[in-house]
Structure 1
Amino acid sequence: MKKNCLLLVMCLLMVHLAFAQNTIPVQGRVVDASTGQPLIGAGVAVQGTSIGTQTDVNGNYTINAPADGTLVISYIAYQNAQVPVNNRNTINIELQQDTEALEEVVVVGYGVQEKRDVTGSIASVTNEELVKQASQNPVSSLQGKVAGVTITNSGAPGASPQIRIRGAGSALGSADPLYVVDGTFVDNLSFLNPADIESIEILKDASSAAIYGVRAANGVVLVTTKRGKAGDSRVNYNGFVGVQRVTNALEMTDAQEYATLINEKNGTELIPTDLPTTDWYDQILRTALIQNHQVSASGGSEKITYSASAGYLNQEGIIEGNEYERITARLQTDFELSENVKVGYNGIFYNYNSLDIPGDIFYQAFVAPPIIPVFKANGNYGDSFDFNVGNFANPQASIDWFKQESSGQQFIGNAFGEVEFLNNFTFRTSLGVNYGLNEFTNYRSQDSLTSVQYASRSLLTQGRSKRTSWLWENTLTYDKVFGEHEITALLGTSAQENKFENFVGSVNDVEFNSDANLYLDLGDPETFLIEADGDRFTFLSYFGRINYTFRDKYLLTATLRYDASSKFPSSDRWEYFPSVGLGWRVIEEEFMQDQTILDNLKLRASWGRLGNNNIPSSIFILPVSTDARYGSIFNGVLYPGRNITQVVSPTLYWEVVEEVDLGVEMGFLNNRLTAEIDWYNKETKDAIFGLTPLGYLGLTGEIRGNYATFRNRGLEAVVNWTDDISDDITYNIGLNFAVNKNEVTGIATGNNVFFNGNLPVGGYQVSITRIGDPIGAFYGYEVDGIFQNEQEVAASAQPNARPGDFRYRDLNDDNIIDERDKTIIGDPNPGFVFGINTGFSYRNFDFVLDIQGVSDVDIYNGNRNVRYGNENFSQDFFDNRWTGPGTSNFYPSASLIGSNLDPNDFFVESGDYIRIRNLQVGYNLPQSLVNNWGMQNFRIYVNAQNPITWFDYNGFSPEVGGVPVSQGIDRNVYPLSATYNFGVNVTF
């Protein structure tokens, strides 16, 4: 055995020596044949082997190759070159541009397409753009980069940003888009490390999104993760560390100012004005740390390619005690079994752990009087009871007392098989799975911290939710070019099942020793409570698409999807979703050949119908309650009773979106200047709303049905300029903006108005949805100044008012202020969004500056509206309040109570803002130095995200989201932070 092993080793050594004797080191430079510019990342491989490398930032390469071998050089949008080595040690190569490959390729539903042939509105963001921002969520990286896409961020660690594509496409259901990751449908992208993404495509119009039918009413976000490429293995590290700090911190009154206001309000010296101050925001906020690391490896041969990565994110919240930790892992492999058969898989796993904070902690810090100390002299928590100002929680005590941990795991996987046959046909089958498990444990100890923060018994609450889904899809594609005609036809089927299970249990009197002892069965069994629910819904779909091109200038895309969803009654379960797109590449016409102004001109138009499935499952089923109150006693025997608690519409139809899109694409000055403009009209028909029933009917919940129609209409524009000043200097400038107008066009009720589903603020409804106005518009009184004296009050329509109160406008001139004088006072739907994206490079230095903003949008400041007693005031209110005749005609007196709290336009503020979204400076170490270290590339950078935001809103952040019927209402949102990072990117 030892002899055989020794013989094998000697044979391998001889083979290695023989190969080594026939290989020589080869180096050189790969450049563009016409411009001489270096081609960065060009592939250089030895023909017939798996040996390969890539060029560096200067286009240089080094490789060991057989002296009589052949080098194969490849680069995107360039023709491949095959160059014999011929025993040469230096080989410089010039690549010719491939005019057929120059066109940008974008991912579309169930395939790819050249940008020049696209008839719909599709925006693409590549990995190169994503990695320029050190973001922990890929959706955040899109903010300001795509016209017509509005993103609202939250500063909470691990939170998913809210995204709206061309306005809100639904009302009762979720208005979030469909996310598709490598062919698998997911709810959000929180599980993805941005460094794992190859590109993100956003299907904005109905023509491009109709292939997804009932799921696409709110647009589609297609995510393609990185795949391995043939050649030597490449190992990459991408990581950053940084700090997060609150910007634009809301300034509150100090103890003296607060005492002044409360004494003014009560008309007596209720509080001394010499008490020490507690700045509650300063007390609970902190500078938080963040770190993100990712290691990836990719490579393979002509038969097998792979890509693998692992990532770690640790993000502290700006509130002490808040922390989020995420681990991600991804593995992808493709196998070419034969020339016509290919199989592969892609799996993504993520695990998170979170230390949580009270959900109302920002509210507590906002209202807590500054006269309350954090701790008393005896070490106990400061108590509002000691100052006779009302019942207020001590925010620090709330943080210290709150004990909750959350965790979860998710696996998203997809396996496929692909067969090419008869030259023009490709059959593909894929199976995707999505499994998620989330858990939380909350323990409230038996304690007495303050007069309002106490518990006579401990309480343990635990919850677990599980979500599973599978998606099986099959497609058959026919691709043929004959003469001046090119046709690609697609037929497919899709079947999906989703299940959701959830339970929450609680029990008193569990003794806390350690986290390991927190079990529900250790408490008092008589206090044990458990709630459980679940959901299951399925889809079945058939779809087809035809892409036709004639003479490379006349384009047609036609799509039809036939969808069924168990969320609707069996009689209305199926629906067709067609679309058609037309394109005309005018630049290819003969009459355009002699002009020198335009390098590209394409006109396109599209129409399509989309559906919405983001509604509660089985909402057509009458729910029945077995509440004990419905029972009856006959002859001393209790008979349980039941009651229908919610009424559903006798008919329930699909919520359908119809959209028209008209677009033009242009290129000037050798396509250094490009522009793309779109006009769209998106109408949501048969929108599902819920009507609030009359109270005497004994019903709870809403009466849901297809009650409304609303429309989003707007204009989008994207302009980009890219130029190379010299071999050392390049730069680019991009501008995008979008204008959108939301309007309710029809409501199937007698009074043409909805108040239901809107978020109450201080017990008031502040939003309304009615014909002719935006969905979820703010509704209340118009303030016509401040009453300055008793004479003005007596002569007004508000005889019960006092000097210093709001004077409301009598809109119907009946000398009575009542509900009939309310009107639209604000619009929470953004009317204008824009982004400016710039880049500059000089030799090894690079610079990125992104600016993003929103205008023509309003926020209802629900924080100011919270006045139940002696809550704290903002500094802005103290400085501008009414204190006597002539002192203010806009801010009321400190007696902000009674009718002053009715919804009115004082609480409506502009949500306009301009923000430096991203600022980054990077440096690539010289290639000679990097090569000596055994690396291919080494880049360092410093990055600032959201360092400056200009806005006038009296709050932490002007980014306030929400569901369409009650969006834009600020009830102390978790503010967005400025983040400052130092990062490293290394490739081996």
Structure 2
Amino acid sequence: MKTILPNKAKHYCKVGKVLLLATAIQLTTNTQSMAFKRSAFISELRNNSQFVTIKGKITDKNGQPIIGASVMIKGSQIGSLSDANGDYSINAERTSILVFSYIGFTPKEITVGGQTTINVELEESSTSLGEVVVVGYSTKKQSEISSSISVVTGDKLRDVTSNEVSSLLQGRAPGVVVSTASGSPTSGSSIIVRGTGSINASTAPLIVVDGNIGGNYNPTDVETITILKDAAATGLYGSRAANGVIIITTKTGKSGKSVVSYNTTMGFTEASTGNFSLMNSQELYDYQSKFYSGLTPERLNNNTDWWDLGFRKGMVNTHTLSASGGSEKSTFYLSGNYYKEEGTLIHNDKTGYNLRGNFTQKLSDKFKISSFLNGIFINDVYNAGGTLYDSYVNMPFDPAYNPDGTPIDARYGTWYGRDRDNFLHTLQYNTSRAKSFNVSADINLDYNVLKNLTLSSYNRGNLVNYRSDSFNDKRTKSGATNNGTAYASNSYNNTFLTSNRLRYSNNFGKHSLAVLAVGEIEQGYSESLSANVKNLPAGRDAFSTATDIVTNPSGGNDTYQFSKYLGQVDYSFNEKYYAVASYVSEYSSRFGSNKPNGNFYQLGASWIASNEDFLKNNKAITFLKLRSSYGTTGNAYGIGYYAALGLYSISSGASYAGLPGAAPSQKANPDLTWEKSKSANIGVDITLFKRIDLSVDAYHKEAASLLFFRPLPATTGYSGVYENVGNVRNRGIEFNLTTKNFVKDFKWETNLNMAFNRNKVLEVNQGRTEVSTGARQPIAVGHDMDEWFMPVWSGVDPATGSPLWENRVKDADGKEFLTYTTNYNAASRLYTGKSSAPKFTGGLTNDFTYKNFTLSTFFNFVYGNYVYNDSRFFFDSDGLYESYNQMNLAKGWSRWEKPGDLATHPKPVHGRADNSNATSTRYLENGSYLRLRNVTLGYNLPTAWLNKAKVNKVRIFISGDNLWTLTKFTGTDPEVELGDGVSSIKYPISKKFLFGVNISL
């Protein structure tokens, strides 16, 4: 310490007095100078202060504000969110690093320094590795996941216009095969994940909405869809996840200014006819004159295009109004949707209304409550006149209308068609419709017991009411037999589920640990009632006007229960090494008393190699992760509630003294238990140059103890029994590739996904080699489950024009020889080596952006599957059905006319009896196709224009769905339900031409 001497102290006091006096004189005589110095002092104080207020705007590449973007101080829990204008504000130190992030965009880090205003433009990310996704009963960053998953954002689903999420997923994720059996807006699609692994039980994936099994939703409210494919991913749903899991997360509100959005789409649809066309009157007359002597010239007086009369241009109209927002403690999302689509087939349409409300409230720092309420009302109108069938087979010789313009009743007068049916006459009177109301309500409670321990209770009630009815007027062909009939059925279903979860998570230096325990109970109940009456007055469909019944009214009620206990441990070290293990034990009332429980386990591990020192600064490989998993999963769906019990059925043949009796129908099997699937997966995720993302997975999955209803001989007194039989294997490779081709003013991004799967039956029960002997697809050991089994068509005998089939014979030494026969019954039934399952499937998307313009194209493709075109049995029958219209020959086809002709079709013979149109590979066609699923051209109105109107965003677009299909298939549409593989009188898929507007306030 420095010592001040007394004499020097006096000197310093004098100096101090002088300074104080000078300062006082200056303060009183020069205020302007004082103000200047005060300002300089404050400025210097600010420069030396630790904290400053940073403000700015967060926008996307088009200058549009990003609402709800996160602004975090790196290494802390301090953060903020952007409001409806993209504006944010945060207090931070000048040495702080701000991290700006939003789902679907690449995070950006900026050091504060001397800045007080920081405007940020986030770029859309070609990788989603940093995004948080829902997996099982928790959320994780994609980079931390050890399993095989695919994530599809809601924006990607809204290119194609449909009210079915299953249809929207087509071609969007590798290994997820979506197929649609009908183009009707009232029908749905089927989904198969990584191949078919069941015989009688369900092959559909488990649906999870907002954290709970089941539930309902509308496509417009979907935020993300996560498809869980391997055992480690499906782990916590393992008891019912053998066919994969689809997790749907709906939108929620974000704190900040409220946002109101309105989206509308309008347009029209038309049926796709593909390579198919029917004959007109002249063509049919010329064809039949070669083999049918009963032709008369007056047939040419009419040239009715029944296809054109049966189909139309339908209208599509959809409107969605939503509002979201909230504060740090309370958020909300409200949405209403109206969807109307007219089918391309006349008298067929769907109308849907959907209301959703998602609310979250933080009651305290420890307690949060969330509620999700969704209601869907659907009104379906079905064609009640046999229009689809008649459009294919009715003859152009027959007129549709009387001279006065009214539809002809085909039952009377001259009519050349075999079925004597004019659907235009029938549709005047008959009706068929259905209505359903589906309500789902969730109450979720989360309580932080301790700092790292959370207790949650997720609860759901789901109620479904469904009614269908039909009326066949006595004035129509279908109603004449019973003098007018009416049918009605009502069903009611409810499901109640409670899922109670305890989760612990903590970080210990470089170690991270999360432990989850869950207890869950699901109870289901259903009841139904149906009645069918007759003798109704014309035009009266009320049951009270009937005087008799067609069948006795029927009904019943059912109930089932699932209960589950599970545990999971999730561990990671140093953001490099990850491991997960889970165990599930579940009870189901559907199984036998001896084995109602199923126990399943799952293991997974991954290594982020790019976080190692030897790859950290590698400019080429910016991310690299290796993954592996193994585990068991189960299946309990697709069988009856009482599949293990011995059942009796009411039978009119088992009656006594006029009273109904009961007869055995199902044999009991107390040992019936869960289907079980063992699966292994290895995968790699790699990012190159921050512009190329590639994920590759290889898997091996074996499904055992398959649920199967085995028919029993009539002598046993039972129709059959449910058993666990057989073993089926699926192996495959999947990859997903995303590239950023151009990244400046003109941006071009490409995504390609493909999946290859091979299926094989390894075993069936009781020493048999086939499950359904004699069927087209008998499911046999050593073969693909979907392999076709039938006589092999060998073409046409050039000398006689007769049909030929393969006949394989063996000599005395057992050596097989190939011969040919014109006798269908002598033809060999063979496994063809052709399957209804495709060899590979996938999708290709290209997104282009230039300034305010966007253009996207989306193709999906299916290759290597074979479709049995069963419709050709009717209208490619070589003269057998002269009273049905016939199809024009496809390109490259020809009919035999004279000896020596090398033709694809036999000579036509009136009323032929050689079975040329019977089941064989003749009608087995290549079902491969490449489809332009969607093209969308959009324009975002400039921000400068919108600011004046106080509008955040306006986007206008034109769009087309299913515009073009490349295929060799000769029917209207190659897309069929792939597990079935049959195209029979197909309602073709629709082309859609649409205009839309998206507005955000």
Q: Considering the TM-score relative to the shorter chain, is it more than 0.5?
A: yes
Give the aligned partner of residue 197 of structure 1.
222
Aligned to 2:857: 849
**More deviation, 808-817/777-786:** 808-817
Q: Tell me if 1:503 matches 2:529.
A: yes
**For residues 46 and 668 of structure 1, what CA distance do their matches in structure 2 show?**
27
SS in 2 for 1:472: strand
Aligned partner of 2:730 in structure 1 is 712
Which residue of structure 1 lines up, in the alignment, with residue 83 of structure 2? Answer: 53
Secondary structure in 2 matching 1:577:
strand
SS in 2 for 1:103: coil
Q: 1:808 aligns with which of 787, 806, 822?
A: 806
- Matching residue of 2:947: 931
Between Structure 1 and Structure 2, how many residues are aligned?
914
Could you say which structure has the larger radius of gyration?
A: 2
The answer to which of 583-592 and 348-357 deviates more is 583-592
Percent identity over the alignment is: 25
Distance 2:437 2:111 in 1: 48
Partner of 1:112: 139
Aligned-partner Cα distance in 2 for 1:715–1:45: 39
Residue 823, structure 1, aligned to residue 836, structure 2: no
**1:913 and 2:929 equivalent?**
yes
Which whole-Å deviations, capped at 9, do the CAs of 1:248-275 have from their partners, x for residues lacking one? 3531111233234445454554776634
Partner in structure 1 of residue 351 of structure 2: 325
Q: 1:186 to 1:267 in 2, by over 3 A?
A: farther
Determine the C-alpha separation between the residues in 1 that align with 2:696 and 2:793: 40
Mapped pair 1:647 → 2:667: yes
1:184 aligned to 196, 209, 212, which one?
212
Q: Which residue of 2 aligns with 1:771?
A: 781
CA contact (8 A) 1:804 1:884 kept: no
Q: Is the 8 A contact 1:42 1:55 kept in 2?
A: no
| Pairing 1:748–2:774 present | no
Report the CA distance between 1:882 and its aligned residue. Answer: 2.5
After superposing the two structures, state which structure 1 stretch, 591-600 or 472-481, moved more.
Answer: 591-600
Q: Specify the SS of the correspondent of 2:284.
A: helix
Does the CA-based 8 Å contact 2:479-2:485 persist in structure 1?
Answer: no
Which residue of structure 2 lines up, in the alignment, with residue 12 of structure 1? none
Question: Distance between the aligned counterparts of 2:222 and 2:951, measured in 1?
Answer: 23
Please give the alpha-carbon distance, in whole angstroms, between the structure 1 residues aligned to 2:729 and 2:337.
42
Equivalent in the alignment of 1:408? 436
Distance in 2 between residues matched to 1:372 and 1:907, nearest whole Å:
28
- The correspondence of residues 757-768 of structure 1 with structure 2, limited to 5 A, is 765-768=775-778
**383, 398, 401: which is aligned to 1:372?**
398
**1:598 and 1:172 mapped to 2: Cα distance?**
46
1:386 equivalent in structure 2: 414
Amino acid in structure 1 at the alignment position of 2:705? D
How far is the alpha carbon of 1:901 from its aligned partner? 3.1
Q: Which residue of 2 aligns with 1:440?
A: 468
Contact kept, 8 Å, 1:44 with 1:53, in 2: the verdict is no
1:388-433 deviation per Cα after TM superposition (whole angstroms, max 9, x unaligned):
5533422323433431221111011211110113211111101111
Structure 1: stretches of 5+ with no match in the other structure: 1-25, 66-71, 757-763, 791-802
Structure 1 residues 985 and 642, CA, compared in 2 at 3 Å: closer, same or farther? closer
- The one of 963, 967, 983 equivalent to 1:947 is 963
The AA in structure 2 aligned to 1:503 is L
- Superposition pairs of residues 276-355 of structure 1, within 5 angstroms: 276-355=302-381
Question: What secondary structure does 1:256 align onto?
Answer: helix
Pairwise CA distance, 1:247: 2.0
Q: Which amino acid aligns with 2:900?
A: G
Superposed displacement of residue 849, structure 1: 0.8
Residues 866-904 of structure 1 show CA distances to partners (whole Å, capped at 9, x for unaligned) of 367332211127962333323343222334654223321
Asked if residue 565 in structure 1 is aligned to residue 592 in structure 2, the reply is no
TM-score normalised by the chain length of structure 1:
0.86
Give the SS at the match of 1:396. helix
The C-alpha deviation readout for 1:831-890, integer Å capped at 9, x for no partner, is: 110211111111111111111100000100110123673322111279623333233432
Q: TM-score, normalised by structure 2?
A: 0.85
Is the Cα contact below 8 Å between 1:461 and 1:504 reproduced in 2?
yes
SS at match of 1:810: strand
Q: 1:102 to 1:219 in 2, by over 3 A?
A: closer
Contact 2:242 2:677 in 1 (8 A): yes
Amino acid at match of 1:126: T
Do the aligned residues in 2 keep the contact of 1:877 with 1:891 (CA within 8 Å)?
Answer: no
Aligned twin of 1:979: 992
2:17 aligned residue: none
What secondary structure is seen at the aligned counterpart in 2 of 1:274?
A: helix
Change (3 A) 1:927 1:594: closer
| 1:174 matches 2:202 | yes
- DSSP-derived class of the 2:873 partner: coil
* AA at the equivalent of 1:341: F
* C-alpha separation in 1, matches of 2:290 and 2:498: 68
**Letter paired with 2:853:** F
Counterpart Cα distance in 1 of 2:601 and 2:669: 27
Contact 1:472 1:495 in 2 (8 A): yes
Instruction: Identify if the C-alpha distance between structure 1 residues 468 and 907 changes in structure 2 by more than 3 Å, giving closer, same or farther.
Output: same
Partner of 2:18: none
Q: Give the match for residue 870 of structure 2.
A: 862
Evaluate the alpha carbon distance shift between residue 971 and residue 271 of structure 1 in structure 2; reply closer, same or farther with a 3 A threshold: farther
- Kept in 1, the 8 Å contact 2:164–2:219? The answer is yes
Partner of 2:814: none
What is the identity, as a one-letter code, of the residue corresponding to 1:367? V
Is the CA contact 2:732–2:755 (under 8 Å) kept in the aligned structure 1? yes
How far the C-alpha of 1:193 sits from its partner, in A, is 3.0
- Cα deviation, 1:298-326, whole Å, max 9, x if unaligned, reads 01111111010101001101011112110
Q: Which runs of 5+ in 2 are unaligned?
A: 1-53, 92-97, 811-816
Is 1:620 equivalent to 2:644 in the alignment? yes
Q: Counterpart of 2:945 in 1: which secondary structure? A: helix
CA separation of 1:504 and 1:822: change in aligned 2, threshold 3 A = same
Q: Distance in 2 between matches of 1:698 and 1:624?
A: 11
Q: How far apart are the structure 2 equivalents of 1:888 and 1:271?
A: 32
SS in 2 for 1:207: helix
1:872 aligns with 2:885: yes
Is the 8 Å Cα contact of residues 372 and 382 (structure 1) preserved in structure 2?
Answer: no
| 1:684 CA drift (Å) | 1.1
Contact 2:593 2:670 in 1 (8 A): no
Residue 313 of structure 1 aligns to which amino acid in structure 2? Y
Give the RMSD, CA atoms, in angstroms.
Answer: 3.5
* Residues 67-216 of structure 1 aligned to structure 2 (within 5 Å): 75-76=101-102, 78=107, 92=119, 103-153=130-180, 154-186=182-214, 192-216=217-241
SS of equivalent to 1:521: helix
Deviation at 1:823, TM superposition (A): 0.9
Residue from 899, 906, 919 that aligns with 1:892: 906
Residues 499 and 631 of structure 1, relative CA distance in 2, 3 Å threshold: closer
**1:317-355, CA deviations, whole angstroms, 9 ceiling, x for partnerless residues?**
101111211010000110001111101101111111122
The 1:960/1:101 distance shift into structure 2, 3 A limit, reads: closer
> How far has the Cα of 1:984 moved from its partner?
0.6
Q: Quick one: which amino acid aligns to residue 944 of structure 2?
A: S
- Provide the secondary structure at the position in 2 that maps to 1:754: coil
Tell me if 1:522 matches 2:525: no
**For the residues of structure 1 that align with 2:415 and 2:702, how far apart are their CA atoms?**
56
**Aligned mates of 1:101, 1:408 — CA distance in 2:** 38
Q: Which amino acid aligns with 1:599?
A: T
Matched, 1:230 2:258: no
Q: CA deviation at 1:360?
A: 4.8
Q: What's the counterpart of residue 658 of structure 1?
A: 678
Residue 183 of structure 1, CA deviation: 2.3
Task: Letter of the 1:693 partner, please give it.
Answer: L
CA 1:129/1:49 → structure 2, altered by over 3 Å: closer, same or farther? Answer: closer
Letter in 2 for 1:732: E
CA distance in structure 2 between the aligned counterparts of 1:668 and 1:938, rounded to whole angstroms: 35
